[in-house]
Amino acid sequence: MKFELLLAAFDLKDLIGVPLRASVSIPTIVFALGAIGLNLHYGFTGLLNVGMVAFMAAGSYGMAIAFTQGVPGGILVAMVCGLLFSVIIALLIGIPALRLRGDYLAIVTIAIGEVMRVSARSQRLINITGGPFGLPSIEDRGNDVSLSDRIGIDWNPLYDTENPTRSFDVLWTDIFNFDAKALWLMIIGWALVVLMTILVWRLVNSPWGRVIKAIREDEDAARALGKNVFSYKLQSLIIGGVIGAIAGIIRTLDNSFVQSEQFRPQTTFFIWTSLILGGAASKWGPVVGAAIFWFSLQFVEEAVRQLVENDWIPDWLIDSNDIGRIRLIMMGVMLAALMIWRPQGLLGKKEEALLDVR
Amino acid sequence: MRYVCPVLSPRIVRWKMFIFLCALIFSVAGAFIMPVAQAQETAPDHEIRGTLRVGRDPVPDISVTVFDEAGAEVGTSISDEGGQWQIEITSTGEYTAVIDVATLPEGVGFKEGATNEVVKEVLALDKSSYPVAFKLEDGAAPLIAPVSTATQLANRAVSGLRVGLLVALAAVGLSLIYGVTGLVNFAHSEMVTFGAVTAFGFEALMPSLPFVIPVILGIMSGGLLGFVLERGLFKPLRDRKMNNISLMVVSIGLAFVLRYVIVIYFRAEPVGFKHYLLQTGIDIGPIKIPVKDIVIMSIAFFMLILIATLLQKTRLGTSMRAVSDNPALAESSGIDINKTILAVWVAGSALAAMGGIFLGLTNIIEWQMGEKMLLLIFAAVTLGGLGTAYGAMVGGLAIGFVSEMSTFWLDNDLKFLIALVVLIIILLVRPQGILGVRERLG
């Protein structure tokens, strides 16, 4: 009876539907792409990159700035600019820090991520990055096109000029109900996720990949075999960083604005938790991890929201303002608990996940 | 992990790297030396603003700078066609708006009794704008002499010393913990916040008691948190033979849990201690400094000396240094490693809590205060050499000083950039830090 009473307190359709919907939509794609990049860094090369958000910021801001400053060639060239910017950031991080032991790399990467964010909100760059306000609408004023229109309308085969607010029911339920732009971005995004997963898998199973895995296992041994460890690590950092920049670009296409607060360090740790949950050094781990992680975050958040709204949880314990913060506590608990009890995650192998960079 | 590169000799590589990096840093820095733009259309959350008029006519193109109570620049604004200027603020406190008299048009001065400085106390962030009025007049009154560069530098240096001492206090703990366990504790920033928040709580519980008591209780709670974390989390994990990299990731998770539990059960808005909330400065030569800052700086300085003495002279201090140097050898010489590690955790956390309380006294208390300080702490311990207590002191002082002094030439928010540039240059030139031992790295 008690259980039925508790069950009655929940709106089951929302409780399952909202997280399910979240686990296929853009945030999951963004975290999956980020985790694929991080998998190359941490899972295969053993690089402790805790500044993945710096690469996302490089992609987003690089693209947005190039576009608003009217780079010739439009969006595609602007995206390339974003990717190139992330390569520069990878060089900036890698050249000083990759020669050092793992924990130093962690300190430098988190620092560069924060410095990117703080610099982007600097008053001095207000004409370029929009300072603390960001770039609220990404428009090329000279040519009078906006990024959002270009992606969502001009280049969108799903967009119907007769019925611009048309929405799509994927499957039969109204849980998976998306508008034309979101669905179009999701198709592109999931295609990129599959493409990048296959790319990374091909890379790590090539001779190049065997070297980076050797570096992860024993750097000195790889060096003794005549491999230029530094160069391999730098290549891995750049490739993974570019995948991270793609994640940032997808997020910016979805949001249609950039702002420095989108790139707080917690984004990096969402990606980390996704990767560890799915399993580092596995093929589909990052993708599965991102989907399950995002599902469980939304599930807990929705459950707590419903409990608070129905007064099952008293206000002094958690009130409705705190619900958004629960997910960050959840993330912290999951990250620590996974690291302690299941470092290989769901799909990883234990012997590949235990890494001691010392 | 000895550095042996088969292709290029280390010395040449390092210099090439250095030159390349300098070029990169300069090109990035170059982007910042561009003119500050005019006001944006969207309004910020809170701002100090004003309209400059002589009689009824607005005065454009006048530079107004707002400083916080520590004397650090919050921002600069140039008045527009309508004579309006505005500067975004994010916290409560006493702000001083200063007109750059060099930008005043000819013949425009201040009314009798008025100066080019106006003080504005922002007690609560409940309004979107806080107006400040300057009394301008045509002709008549003579211009007030601007504050000399030397005075400004002297004030900036004192505030640099203050920040440096606080960073050093917090950094010693991080460095000691790293020294004895090999763990880079990302949750150290939350210890800083925890100290300030608990002291604030104790102060609210016992408002009539002297302020020293909540401060001491706050520091003790910090030490207790260190004890709980070591005994409840990190020691069991070390016993499970978890490596330090995994433990570092665990500490990242822990940092998030602590940080957001603090937001939920403390509050999201910044607050200040009830005691000594606002204190007008006293003048020592060219330097204007609140008495509380002098007290804080003396205590912090004394604490650093005390720690150094304890590390050198006492048994516990010696065993800390021994474990840090070579745990196996220390253990075989009869040192109880676990006891030493526990002592380091308690002492390090208490010091971080103390740093947090002092930071809360001179600035504000908020849930992000530790997070904001973490980068400076990391830069400090890297500069001094990870794992060395004296290095962390020297590094903390240097980083605090350099980053505060940089606000004289650069914007306030770019001081983190300076800390990072120092970090990177140190990693290139002397990766083991000023006082580090070469074997630690390579």
Containing A277, the helix (H) or strand (E) segment is: helix A265-278
User: At B442, is the pLDDT very low, low, confident or very high (cuts 50, 70, 90)?
Assistant: very low
User: At A135, is the pLDDT very low, low, confident or very high (cuts 50, 70, 90)?
Assistant: confident
Residue B24 DSSP label: H
Please give the structure tokens belonging to residue A286.
């990052």
Q: If you average pLDDT over every residue of chain A, what do you get?
A: 86
% residues pLDDT > 90 (chain A)? 41
Å between B36 CA and nearest CA of chain A = 5
Q: If you average pLDDT over every residue of chain B, what do you get?
A: 79
Which of B94, B118, B141 terminates a domain? The answer is: B141
Q: Is residue A170 part of a domain?
A: no
Residue B26 has pLDDT above 60, yes or no: no
Range with the poorest average pLDDT among A150-159, A163-172, A211-220, B399-408: A163-172
CATH number at residue B56: 2.60.40.10
Average pLDDT over residues B431-442: 61
* Contact with chain B for residue A110, Cβ under 8 A: yes
Residue B114 has pLDDT above 80, yes or no: no
What residue has token string 């065997």?
A210
Contact A219 B1 (CB under 8 A): yes
In this prediction, residue B139 carries a pLDDT of: 60
Containing B236, the helix (H) or strand (E) segment is: helix B235-239
In this prediction, residue B290 carries a pLDDT of: 82
Q: Which residues of B touch A351 (CB under 8 A)?
A: none
In this prediction, residue B291 carries a pLDDT of: 82
Which residues, numbered 251 to 310 in chain B, qualify as contacts with chain A under a Cβ-Cβ cut-off of 8 Å? Answer: 252-257, 259-261, 263-264, 268
The answer on B166 and B114 residing in a single domain is no
Q: Give the amino acid at B129.
A: S
Q: DSSP of A65-107, one letter per residue?
A: HHHHTT-TTHHHHHHHHHHHHHHHHHHHHHHHHTTS-HHHHHH
Cβ neighbours of residue A264 under 8 Å, at least 6 residues apart? A53, A117
* Bridge partners, B58 (sequence order): B53
Contact A318 B420 (CB under 8 A): no
Q: Which residues of A touch B417 (CB under 8 A)?
A: 115, 118-119
Cβ neighbours of residue A148 under 8 Å, at least 6 residues apart? A137, A138, A181, A256
In this prediction, residue B255 carries a pLDDT of: 94
Q: Decide the pairing of beta strands B108-110 and A145-146.
A: unpaired
Range with the poorest average pLDDT among A118-132, B89-103, B272-286: B272-286
* Minimum-distance CB partner of B257 among A220, A333, A339: A333
Contact B32 A124 (CB under 8 A): yes
Q: Is residue B211 part of a domain?
A: yes
Phi, psi (deg, nearest 5) at residue B122: -105, 105
Contact B34 A331 (CB under 8 A): no
In this prediction, residue B13 carries a pLDDT of: 44
In this prediction, residue A80 carries a pLDDT of: 94
CATH number at residue A142: 1.10.3470
* Minimum-distance CB partner of B441 among A88, A101, A136: A101
The answer on B265 and B117 residing in a single domain is no
Q: Say if residue A262 is exposed, middle or buried (CB neighbours under 10 Å; 0-12, 13-18, 19+).
A: buried
In this prediction, residue A214 carries a pLDDT of: 92
Contact A336 B253 (CB under 8 A): yes
Contact A126 B36 (CB under 8 A): yes
Range with the poorest average pLDDT among A272-286, A329-343, B67-81, B390-404: B67-81
Contact B244 A103 (CB under 8 A): yes
Å between A132 CA and nearest CA of chain B = 8
User: Which residue pairs, CB below 8 angstroms and at least 24 apart, start in A290-293?
Assistant: A290/A28, A290/A29, A290/A31, A290/A32, A290/A35, A291/A23, A291/A24, A291/A28, A291/A32, A292/A23, A292/A346, A293/A31, A293/A334
CA gap A264, B433 in Å, rounded: 28
Q: Give the amino acid at B366.
A: E
In this prediction, residue A90 carries a pLDDT of: 94
Which residues, numbered 167 to 226 in chain B, qualify as contacts with chain A under a Cβ-Cβ cut-off of 8 Å? Answer: 182, 184
Å between B314 CA and nearest CA of chain A = 31
- Give the residue on A whose Cα is nearest the Cα of B241: A340
In this prediction, residue B121 carries a pLDDT of: 78
* Contact with chain B for residue A331, Cβ under 8 A: yes
Give B404's Cβ-side CA count (13 Å radius): 26
Q: Is residue A152 part of a domain?
A: yes
User: At B100, is the pLDDT very low, low, confident or very high (cuts 50, 70, 90)?
Assistant: confident
Phi, psi (deg, nearest 5) at residue B382: -70, -40
Which of B141, B159, B190 terminates a domain? The answer is: B141
In this prediction, residue B6 carries a pLDDT of: 39
Which of B117, B141, B165 terminates a domain? The answer is: B141
Disruptive mutation site among A61, A95, A323 for chain B (greatest number of B CBs within 10 Å): A95
Angle in degrees, 0-180, between the axes of helices B149-181 and B188-205, rounded to the nearest 10:
110
User: At B230, is the pLDDT very low, low, confident or very high (cuts 50, 70, 90)?
Assistant: very high
In this prediction, residue B143 carries a pLDDT of: 47
% residues pLDDT > 90 (chain B)? 26
* Contact with chain B for residue A354, Cβ under 8 A: yes
CA gap A110, A356 in Å, rounded: 19
CA end-to-end span of chain A, whole Å? 56
Å between B272 CA and nearest CA of chain A = 22
Q: Is residue A171 part of a domain?
A: no
- Other CB atoms within a 10 A radius of the CB of residue B151 amount to 14
CA gap A127, A102 in Å, rounded: 37
* Contact with chain A for residue B39, Cβ under 8 A: no
Q: Decide the pairing of beta strands B129-131 and B47-51.
A: parallel
The answer on B200 and B132 residing in a single domain is no
% residues pLDDT > 70 (chain B)? 83
Q: Is residue A85 part of a domain?
A: yes
Contact A332 B34 (CB under 8 A): no
Tally A–B CB contacts below 8 A: 185
Q: Is residue B221 part of a domain?
A: yes
pLDDT digits (tens, 9 = 90+) for B123-145: 777 777 788 888 777 764 444 45
The answer on B424 and B323 residing in a single domain is yes
Residue B327 has pLDDT above 70, yes or no: yes
Q: Is residue A121 part of a domain?
A: yes
For residue A269, the Cα-to-chain-centroid distance in whole angstroms is 9
The interface predicted TM-score (ipTM) is 0.86
Q: Is residue A169 part of a domain?
A: no
Residue A154 DSSP label: I
* Contact with chain A for residue B78, Cβ under 8 A: no
Residue B189 has pLDDT above 90, yes or no: yes
Q: Decide the pairing of beta strands B53-54 and B47-51.
A: unpaired
**Domains: count for chain A:** 1
Average pLDDT over residues A306-324: 78
Q: Give the amino acid at A101.
A: R
Contact A335 B250 (CB under 8 A): yes
The answer on B309 and B221 residing in a single domain is yes
Contact B44 A354 (CB under 8 A): no
The answer on B227 and B168 residing in a single domain is yes
The answer on B389 and B308 residing in a single domain is yes
* Contact with chain B for residue A136, Cβ under 8 A: yes
Range with the poorest average pLDDT among A151-165, B53-67, B128-142: B128-142
- Give the residue on B whose Cα is nearest the Cα of A115: B417
Contact B253 A337 (CB under 8 A): yes
Which residues, numbered 5 to 24 in chain B, qualify as contacts with chain A under a Cβ-Cβ cut-off of 8 Å? Answer: 5-7, 17, 20-21, 24
The answer on B128 and B158 residing in a single domain is no
Distances (CA, A) of A142 to A70, A146, A256: 6, 11, 18
Q: Which residues of B touch A355 (CB under 8 A)?
A: 243, 245
**Domains: count for chain B:** 2
Contact A322 B257 (CB under 8 A): no
In this prediction, residue A166 carries a pLDDT of: 72
CATH number at residue B317: 1.10.3470
The answer on B325 and B206 residing in a single domain is yes
The answer on B110 and B159 residing in a single domain is no
CA end-to-end span of chain B, whole Å? 5
* Bridge partners, A177 (sequence order): A169
The answer on B356 and B233 residing in a single domain is yes
In this prediction, residue B12 carries a pLDDT of: 45
User: In which domain, by residue range, is B111 found?
Assistant: 47-141
Q: Is residue B32 part of a domain?
A: no
In this prediction, residue A5 carries a pLDDT of: 64
Which residues, numbered 146 to 165 in chain A, qualify as contacts with chain B under a Cβ-Cβ cut-off of 8 Å? Answer: none
In this prediction, residue A30 carries a pLDDT of: 96
* Contact with chain A for residue B250, Cβ under 8 A: yes
User: In which domain, by residue range, is A199 found?
Assistant: 8-162+177-353
Å between A105 CA and nearest CA of chain B = 10
Contact B261 A329 (CB under 8 A): yes
pLDDT digits (tens, 9 = 90+) for A185-202: 999 999 999 999 999 999
Q: Is residue B73 part of a domain?
A: yes
Å between B431 CA and nearest CA of chain A = 8
Average pLDDT over residues A67-88: 89
User: At B275, is the pLDDT very low, low, confident or very high (cuts 50, 70, 90)?
Assistant: confident
Q: Which residues of A touch B375 (CB under 8 A)?
A: 110-111, 114-115
